[in-house]
Amino acid sequence: MTVHHFYCRHITWVKMSGHPYSPRAYSIDCEMADVEDVFSGVGRAKKFPIKVVIVDERLDVIYDRLVRPDSTVLNDNSFIHGINMKSVIQKEQAVEIV
Instruction: Indicate if the pLDDT at residue 67 is higher than 50.
Output: yes
pLDDT value for 69: 47
Confidence of residue 50 (pLDDT cuts 50, 70, 90): low
16 neighbors 30 (Cβ within 8 angstroms): no
86 neighbors 60 (Cβ within 8 angstroms): no
Instruction: Indicate if the pLDDT at residue 81 is higher than 50.
Output: no
**pLDDT (tens digit per residue) in 3-37:** 344 444 334 434 444 444 433 333 343 333 333 33
Instruction: Report the predicted TM-score, pTM, of the whole model to 2 decimal places.
Output: 0.32
First to last CA, the chain: 27
Cβ burial of 30 (10 Å; 0-12, 13-18, 19+) is: buried
Q: Count the Cβ atoms, other than its own, within 10 Å of residue 88.
A: 19
d(CA 63, CA 68): 15
